[in-house]
A = this chain, B = another copy of it.
Amino acid sequence: MANDVIEPTVSSGGARERGINRVLQVLEFLHARGEGVKIGALAKELQAPRSSIYNLVSSLAGAGLLEINAADSRVFFGKTMYLYGLNYMRENPLAKRARLEVDRLAKETGETSEFCMLQSGRYTIIHMCPGSRPFRISSAVGLQIPIPWTASGRLLLAGHSPDQISQLIHPRDFFLPDGRQIAIDDFQVAIAQARDDGYCLTKGLIDAYTQCLAAPIYNADGQVDATICLVLPIDADEHRVWDLRGQLVETASRLST
C-alpha cells in the first residue's frame, strides 16, 4: 500500500500483442530496420508466433501495403503504403503549406531547409529541400535524429515539463556523434531559452562545420507543433544569420494557425 506500484504497462515477460497492435509492431519494426526482412526473422525478432506473422504479412502484402521480394522473399513496404502516405502531404493543411515554404526558403537563401515534427516521440524530418552549396549537409526526409542534437528539437520540447523531457529522451541520445555529452541541465535551460526567444540557434552540434537555425510553428492551442530550420555553415556571416533568423521566424509564424 505504501508502495502501490503501477504495473509497468505489461505484467511480465514479453509484451503479448495481438490484432492491430501486431500490425503496428511489424510496421514499426520494418521502418526502424529500414530494409527488407525475411518473415521468419521478423517473427523471431518480434517474439511473435511464426504462423501469426505469416498470416499478417500475407494480408498486408495482398493489399500492397507490404511487398515480398520475389528473389529473396524479404518483406518491406509496398507501393500502396507509398500511395497512401502521399495523401498526407497532399491533404494535410500544415504539411502542404510548410512544404512550399521550405522549398521557397531553400531557393531564396540557397541553404538547406527543413520541416520537422515529432513522430512517436522522435525528431523527424518531414520535408527537406537541399541548398545550393557544393558540400551538402547529409540530411534526408524521414531521417530521425536524437532530439538533443538539434535546434528544432529544443523548440519541439518547449511545451513539455522537465520530467516529461527526461523520460522522453533516451540517455544515450545525450551523447553527440563525436562522443561529447550534453549535460541534461544545460539542455533544459536551452529549451527554456529557445521557448522565450522564439527561435533556436545551435552551433557545431551534429558536426563541427554546421550551425542550425530553427523557428517554431504553433498550433491553435499555442503548442509547438512543428519547426522549420536552416542548416548553415559554421562560419556564416553573423549579420546574414541574424537576417535569416528574421525570415525564418516570419515564415514560421505565417505557418502557425
Which range contains the number of A residues in contact with the other chain?
35 or more
Report B-chain residues with C-beta under 8 Å of the C-beta of A119.
Answer: 64, 79-80, 83
Contact A84 B27 (CB under 8 A): yes
Complex: how many Å from CA A86 to CA B91?
16
User: What does the 1/0 interface line of A21-42 toward B look like (CB < 8 Å)?
Assistant: 1011001101100111000000
Minimum distance in angstroms from A227 CB to a CB of chain B: 14
Contact A80 B120 (CB under 8 A): yes
Contact B87 A30 (CB under 8 A): yes
Report B-chain residues with C-beta under 8 Å of the C-beta of A56.
Answer: 20
Q: A70-B219, A120-B63, A220-B70 are in contact. Are A84 and B87 (CB under 8 A)?
A: no
Q: A20-B59, A60-B20 are in contact. Are A87 and B95 (CB under 8 A)?
A: no
> Does chain B have a CB within 8 A of A113?
no
Minimum distance in angstroms from A52 CB to a CB of chain B: 11
